[in-house]
Amino acid sequence: MPQPSDRQTRIEEALTEAFAPVSLKVSDDSAKHAGHAGASPEGETHYSVEIVAEAFEGLSRVQIQRTIMMVLQKEFDTGLHALALKASAPAANP
């Protein structure tokens, strides 16, 4: 199956496959960072992710962040510059 051409879809698919989230919201915030370090005129460099997944149960905030970053390493290697992350297990998400 071919890879989706847009980064947002690839991020959504990678996180869904890795964590089967209860909820997931991915937003491209690149336009807000135009002119900043790491920003590209084409966009797709700065994203916000809100994810709630059972897979994060029992993990610390740092462990969750590291796990997500590992899943998205290919995106960082190909131009993703910054990721604002809100991640938790369902029980920790009121």
Q: Domain ranges for the chain, please list them.
A: 7-92
- pLDDT tens figures, 29-63: 876 645 555 444 456 788 999 999 999 999 999 99
- Fold of domain 7-92: GMP Synthetase; Chain A, domain 3 (3.30.300)
**Cβ atoms within 10 A of the Cβ of 17, count?**
9
- pLDDT tens figures, 65-76: 999 999 999 999
pLDDT classification of 14: cutoffs 50, 70, 90: very high
- Distance spanning both ends of the chain, measured CA to CA: 37
What pLDDT score was predicted for residue 1? 46
